[in-house]
Amino acid sequence: MSNVDISKRGLMLVLSSPSGAGKSTISKELLKRDTGISMSISATTRPMRPGETEGVEYYFVDQKKFDAMVKGGDFLEHATVFENSYGTPKAPVEKILGSGRDVLFDVDWQGAQQLAQNARDDLVSVFILPPSIEELERRLHGRAQDSDEVVKKRMAKATSEMSHWDGYDYIIINEDVETSVSQVEAILVAERLKRERQAGLVDFVRGMGVSQ
């Protein structure tokens, strides 16, 4: 076992997909397997639900505070969904990245765009595609949670969301969850090894008598 410890800066891993493509399942499995990555915690104006804890599921704030944070440039990305506002505060993410840990984001393509505008150097984006439109529809129906009408709306939205696939660094076609999680893990390994993310690499190389 190597004792070499080179300090590094964490990265921001974005996973996006249409509803039903498997993004949430892949995210949960990745978090279980990899202790070096944490889920980002958003701020929201929606009321706290039973069983939720401040700073675990969300940071709960009122609309006035949220608007002040937007005005102050305190969010990496933010949006309003069904009359409630959601946003990713910069400070906690920056603290995690500075400690060398990575942060996982479960956002749509608009959120991914905002993150790219505000933190492109730290960002690694992955879009999850279903193996086919037919399989996506089958998965949505298989949830037995939504009516046919809701599934139809989700399918229409999925087509729109998938049109933004080419704005991402990596594309994974989720035929099998185990394979897809392994592919995300491979992406993480490669991105963590990038020269610019290994902050202590210059001193390490100089310590071996190598000059630049």
Residue 146 has pLDDT above 80, yes or no: no
Nearest to 63 by CA among 86, 81, 30: 86
Residue 211 lies in a domain: no
Q: Which domain holds residue 188?
A: 12-206
Rounded Cα–Cα distance for residues 90 and 113 (Å): 15
For position 147, what pLDDT does the model report?
A: 83
pLDDT digits (tens, 9 = 90+) for 42-77: 999 999 999 999 999 999 999 999 999 999 999 999
The closest alpha carbon to 38, from 105, 89, 98, 87, belongs to 105
| 100-135 per-position pLDDT tens digit | 999 999 889 999 999 999 999 999 999 999 999 999
- pLDDT category of residue 4 using cuts at 50, 70 and 90: confident
Total domain count, the chain: 1
pTM: 0.88
- CB 89 within 8 Å of CB 69: yes
Q: Is residue 3 part of a domain?
A: no
In a domain, 7, yes or no: no
> How confident is the prediction for the chain on average, in pLDDT?
93
Answer whether residue 1 is part of any domain.
no
Q: What is the CATH number of the domain that holds 134?
A: 3.40.50.300
Residue 2 has pLDDT above 60, yes or no: no
